Structure 1
Amino acid sequence: MTFDYWTLGFQAVNVLVLIWLLHRFFWKPVAAMIAARQATVATLLDEAKAKQAEAEAALAKIAATKAGLAAERDAMLATARKDAQAARETLLAEARAEAEALHATAKAARVRAAETLKANAIDEAQGLALTIAGQLAARLDGPATDAAFLRWLVEGLAALSDTERTALAGVELELVSAADQDSPVQDRIAAAITNALGTPAKLTFRTEPALIAGHELHAPHFSLRNSWRADLDRIAAALGEKGDLSDAA
């Protein structure tokens, strides 16, 4: 085997020329293209990072907005619940007040009706008592009945204090009787009153059948009622006091 140095030299020259050509016309443009592509990629990466930062900022803003909306919604719901509770309490208070007013009105109506019934019953009882008293008085011995009421009148005067009897001594007194009194009876009545007062009495006489039976003694600032009608009035007043109505319902 022989080695041709000329062939080796030409091949070496060809390789050097090929390397120079590649370096001159291929590696520089390729390197430039690679550098440009790298710059472009770097720019795109920077833009992508900027977009990512913007996206993250937008997401953070959206999250903050959502949190604010949630807080606002919670506040609105709390306010709505509070307003609803206040409205409910107001309605309940108004309903209670209206119910109490209705109850009070019904109670007042019941009391008025009961008082009316009581007054009517008392009036009827008084009328019946007057009728019965009149019928009984008509059947009793008139002089004996007058004597009994006169005795009670004198006892009433005797029960007064000395000062009260002295004050009546010089006063014009009116004696009212249920029946007409003749002169002898008037003299007897005047004597009994004078004896009770301890001094002569100044008497005028008047008849009032509404008394049913008995005598009453009146002065400008004094009255001593001693008649059947006065007894009935006292009984009716006592019934009215004991019959005071109360409604606790």
Structure 2
Amino acid sequence: MSIEWSTLGLQAINVLVLLWLLQRFLYRPVLAVLERRRAAIDQQMAEAAAVQQKADAARQAVEDERIALATQREQLLAKAQAEAETTRAARLHDVEAQSERLIEAGRHQLEQERRDASAQLRRDAAQLAADFAQRVLARTPKGALLRAYVDEIADHAAQMTLTPSDEARVVTAEALSDPESAALVERLGPALGHVGQWRFDVDPSLLAGVEIHLADTVIGHTLAQDLARLQAAAATDEPPHDHAV
């Protein structure tokens, strides 16, 4: 078998021409189409990625808004609950304060009524005591009552430090007889100390009892004083004190 170099050369030339033609008219256009297709695919992928990114951003924005709304809702609920609690506490405080004021006012009113009733009872008791004392005075012998007052004044004067007096003025509710005056001077003289002169006066407002007016003091015990102390005690909570002054 022999090789025809001319034929082989022609075939080689045909192959080269064919390759050039394929390179020129087929391969380059195909590559261009493929490049355009790849570019289009890349653009579509980029657009899809951008759309996906926008979708993710939108979804994140919606989620953030949902979280913000939930947080705002919780804050509003907490604020409303706090305001309701504050309002309830304020109303409760007002009710308690008003109740306390009403209770205190009622307590004061009851206390005032008790005081008024007690004062009225004391006044009534003082009036009854005064009426009773006057009835007893009307039935008591004058001499015995006078001696009782004089003895009490003498005992009280004996406990005092008295300076000598030029005059002792004796005041009684009724005029004393000479024997009664002498008995009074005899009983009070030692207790009063030195007295230059005794003078006797009458003051019916004393009702009963004796007052001794010295130079610098007055000693006495009268029914008018007892009644005055009794009436004064009726206006207070302190009991009356019976003593010569």
Q: TM-score, normalised by structure 2?
A: 0.70
Stretches of structure 1 lacking an aligned partner (at least 5 in a row): 1-12, 243-249
Residue in structure 2 matched with residue 130 of structure 1 by the alignment? 130
Indicate whether 1:116 and 2:116 are aligned. Answer: yes
Please give the secondary structure, in 2, of the residue aligned with 1:165.
Answer: coil
Distance 1:188 1:116, change over 3 A: same
Residue in structure 2 matched with residue 227 of structure 1 by the alignment? 222
Indicate whether 1:43 and 2:43 are aligned. Answer: yes
Give distance in 1, aligned partners of 2:83 and 2:123: 58
Greater RCO, CA 8 A, separation 6+: 1
Give distance in 2, aligned partners of 1:94 and 1:141: 70
Please tell me whether the aligned partners of residues 133 and 212 of structure 1 are also in contact (alpha carbons under 8 angstroms).
no
Residue in structure 2 matched with residue 72 of structure 1 by the alignment? 72
Per the TM alignment, residue 140 of structure 1 is displaced from its structure 2 partner at its CA by: 1.0
Please give the secondary structure, in 2, of the residue aligned with 1:240.
Answer: coil
Q: Any residues of structure 2 matched to 1:1-249 within 5 Å, and which?
A: 24=25, 33=33, 35-160=35-160, 164-166=161-163, 169-170=164-165, 175-182=170-177, 185-186=180-181, 188-200=183-195, 207-209=202-204, 211-217=206-212, 224-231=219-226, 237=233, 240-241=237-238
Give distance in 2, aligned partners of 1:201 and 1:50: 137
Distance 1:88 1:202, change over 3 A: farther
Which amino acid is 2:56 matched to?
E
Please tell me whether the aligned partners of residues 194 and 201 of structure 1 are also in contact (alpha carbons under 8 angstroms).
no
Stretches of structure 2 lacking an aligned partner (at least 5 in a row): 1-13, 240-245
Give distance in 2, aligned partners of 1:124 and 1:175: 33
Which amino acid is 2:193 matched to?
G
Q: Greater CA deviation, 59-68 or 144-153?
A: 59-68
State the Cα RMSD in Å.
3.6
Please give the secondary structure, in 2, of the residue aligned with 1:136.
Answer: helix
Which amino acid is 1:194 matched to?
G
Give distance in 2, aligned partners of 1:31 and 1:98: 97
Please tell me whether the aligned partners of residues 214 and 226 of structure 1 are also in contact (alpha carbons under 8 angstroms).
yes
Which amino acid is 1:59 matched to?
R
Which amino acid is 2:172 matched to?
S
Distance 1:180 1:80, change over 3 A: farther
Please give the secondary structure, in 1, of the residue aligned with 2:91.
Answer: helix
Residue in structure 2 matched with residue 246 of structure 1 by the alignment? none
Please tell me whether the aligned partners of residues 176 and 216 of structure 1 are also in contact (alpha carbons under 8 angstroms).
yes
Give distance in 2, aligned partners of 1:202 and 1:79: 97
Give distance in 1, aligned partners of 2:194 and 2:119: 44
Residue in structure 1 matched with residue 6 of structure 2 by the alignment? none
Residue by residue, what CA displacement relative to the aligned partner does 1:216-235 show, whole Å, maximum 9, x if unpaired? 44679855452344445556
Sequence identity percentage: 26
Per the TM alignment, residue 45 of structure 1 is displaced from its structure 2 partner at its CA by: 1.8
Give distance in 1, aligned partners of 2:214 and 2:114: 38
Give distance in 2, aligned partners of 1:220 and 1:60: 113
Distance 1:58 1:34, change over 3 A: same
Q: TM-score, normalised by structure 1?
A: 0.69
Give distance in 2, aligned partners of 1:118 and 1:111: 10
